[in-house]
Amino acid sequence: MAKRSFLIPGVDKRLLIKDSLKVMPDVTRRRFIAGGASLGALTLLTGCDVVDSSSADTLLAKVSKFNDAVQDFIFNPDALAPTFPESAITKPFPFNAYYDLDDAPDVDGEAWKLEVRGLVDNKKSWTLPELYKLPQFTQITRHICVEGWSAIGSWTGTPLRDFLKLVGADTRAKYVWFQCADKDGYNSPLDMRTALHPQTQMTFKYANEILPRAYGFPMKIRVPTKLGFKNPKYVVSMEVTNDYKGGYWEDQGYNSFSGS
């Protein structure tokens, strides 16, 4: 009973896994086994080297994909984010980026134009005065960062779905892909369903003032149903596309769905 290879005296790892597998539903079990990391993951308790192993990474990537499918299946993508009274606004609203505020893009509003590309009828670029003429709405929602902190803010702008309609976008396409002026070229894809969500907004104002540099002048995409990194600032172009073009954080491993 006291073999050296035992995790805990009296417990055979293989038998323990076998027993654990029995309580798992069939799908989970198949994925667990398919991942090939079942035994490896258990050695985590003793050894730990499995953390860097590719089998664990493969399993985690698979579970992440599985999570996307589950979320897609059980949640309503059109659910509205809660809105708040003005008194609930977080002051000061935090600046957050992978660089200091001094390094934030300093966009010249006169020269700036929003480039519209991809599966749209009208590929004309838009100046800021032209965009300001579009009907605007204000919404006070909670911005939730992938890091865990959150803050309530007031954003004003045009619903993205109205703009997509205006430029004749093919709304059967899979993504709207945004590129930004941040250093290192920030970009992020947004699935079409979320792009057409009534609260998804091309934002021009924060707290009823022209969007300051800290919050993404001249234009931010505010998506209250997604985590903060899916809310690009300093946007310079949007592309309607069927291709998944990746994103600044998405490419580094944040889940692209990241919907709240």
Interface residues with another protein (CB under 8 A) are: 8-11, 16, 19-20, 22-25, 28, 42, 44-45, 51, 59-61, 63-64, 67, 75-76, 79-82, 142, 144-150, 224-225, 249, 252-255, 259-260
Closest to another protein by CB, 149 vs 244, is: 149
Closest to another protein by CB, 50 vs 166, is: 50
Closest to another protein by CB, 112 vs 257, is: 257
Compute the least distance from the CB of residue 7 to another protein, in Å: 9
At 243, give phi and psi (nearest 5°).
Answer: -95, 140
Compute the least distance from the CB of residue 191 to another protein, in Å: 15
Compute the least distance from the CB of residue 254 to another protein, in Å: 5
| Look-up of token digits 């539903």 | 25
Compute the least distance from the CB of residue 11 to another protein, in Å: 5
Closest to another protein by CB, 99 vs 210, is: 99
* Residue 118: count of CB within 10 angstroms of its CB: 18
SS3 call for 210: strand
Closest to another protein by CB, 25 vs 92, is: 25
| Torsion sign across C-alpha atoms 83, 85, 90, 96 | positive
Compute the least distance from the CB of residue 165 to another protein, in Å: 24
Angstrom distances, CA of residue 177 to CA of 19, 35, 61, 63, 200:
46, 32, 23, 25, 14
Structural contact between residues 222 and 159, judged by C-beta atoms closer than 8 angstroms = no
Tokens at residue 78, please?
Answer: 């059109």
Closest among 236, 112, 136 to 185, alpha carbons compared: 236
